[in-house]
Amino acid sequence: MLLKFTKMHGLGNDFVVVDAVSRKVFFNKRQIERLSDRNWGIGFDQLLVVEPPTQPDMDFRYRIYNSDGSEVEHCGNGARCFAKFVLDRELTNKRVIDVETKRGAIQLRVMDDGLVTVDMGVPSFEPSDLPFTADTSDELYSILVADKEYLLTPVSVGNPHAVIKVDQLLDEEVAKVGSLLECHERFPQKVNVGFMQVVSPEEINLRVYERGSGETQACGTGTCAAVVAGIKQGWLSPKVIAHLRGGDLQIEWQGAGQPILMTGPAEKVFEGQIYL
């Protein structure tokens, strides 16, 4: 099969986006792994598949696959690319787009300046929602990794995250601790790991080791998780600029029961086609 695709990125977190509205497209794990290979395929962090909705009040269905072929619930940077893609391809003329995901419904709002604001939904700090095996009912949980104790905040923003506040962002720590925590036994469905350095109540530096992909240039859900964890712990204000390796995101959260709003860019890199 000849597959037409669009390569996109959100702050360097890169995607291959496929239109499965105009033509039905199906992928298996082997095909996704091949396509994601940066030497033998196209190369990407996630594959985004745009499908027709299954519910009458939705505009599209949005499916997300990691480079290892696993399907995930949510991707914030991908959601912004999704919005730009469906407008550029004239699959819709709406500037406010309602989309189904594996996690549930999300709303995408394309601004006049080209930035996209995503309503990421209401976060949960319940360990069972990640899931996370908690032996206490604390807000900060202690976990031993590589002979060192880390304090983390578990938070679900549709997918599971563990947020660690650090004094410095160190390459070796992100790679080693991120990979060990991703597969830690207390996270039975694995976890995304965020390393957050608080610059001020309105500003953070962040690196994220993503489940199934490793460290990426930017992670939208990871940024949302880090900011809401920081707000919950009293370290951050309700509106924060997050500096990631690929650029900046703005996150706003007004507290318990309220949705997270994430605003940032989305860029098309090129279009192409490849035989599966």
- Of 264, 238, 203, whose CA–CA distance to 8 is shortest? 264
Position 104 scores a pLDDT of 86
Q: Where are the alpha helices (DSSP H) in the chain?
A: 29-36, 76-88, 171-182, 220-232
Position 24 scores a pLDDT of 92
Rounded to 10 deg, the angle between the 220-232 and 76-88 helix axes is 140
Residues 46 and 57: their CA atoms lie apart, in Å, by 26
Q: Do domains 2-121+265-275 and 127-258 have the same CATH topology?
A: yes
Inform me whether the pLDDT recorded for 4 exceeds 90.
yes
Reported as a single tens digit per residue, the pLDDT across 84-111 is: 999 999 999 999 999 999 888 999 999 9
Residue keyed to tokens 């469905």: 189
Inform me whether the pLDDT recorded for 23 exceeds 80.
yes
Mark the binding-site residues for substrate, compressed into ranges: 13, 46, 66, 76-77, 159, 192, 210-211, 220-221
Distance of CA 67 to the CA centre of its chain: 13
Tokens of 64: 């997300």
CATH class of 2-121+265-275: alpha beta
Other beta carbons within 10 Å of 175: 14
CATH class of 127-258: alpha beta
Percentage above 90 pLDDT, the chain: 91
Reported as a single tens digit per residue, the pLDDT across 106-151 is: 999 999 999 999 999 999 999 999 999 998 778 899 999 989 999 9
Position 74 scores a pLDDT of 84
Tell me the residue ranges of DSSP E strands in 131-254: 141-145, 148-156, 160-165, 192-200, 203-210, 214-215, 239-244, 247-252
Tokens of 206: 């962040």
Residues 153 and 187: their CA atoms lie apart, in Å, by 13
Reported as a single tens digit per residue, the pLDDT across 143-188 is: 999 899 999 999 999 899 999 999 999 999 999 999 999 999 999 9
Q: Give me the chain's average pLDDT, please.
A: 95
Domain limits, the chain: 2-121+265-275, 127-258
Burial class (CB in 10 A: 0-12, 13-18, 19+), 144: exposed
Mark the binding-site residues, compressed into ranges: 13, 46, 66, 76-77, 159, 192, 210-211, 220-221
Catalytic sites, residue numbers? 75, 219
pTM of the model: 0.90
Position 103 scores a pLDDT of 81
Q: How confident is the model at residue 269 (pLDDT cuts 50, 70, 90)?
A: very high
Dihedral (CA of 237, 238, 239, 240) sign:
positive
Other beta carbons within 10 Å of 135: 9
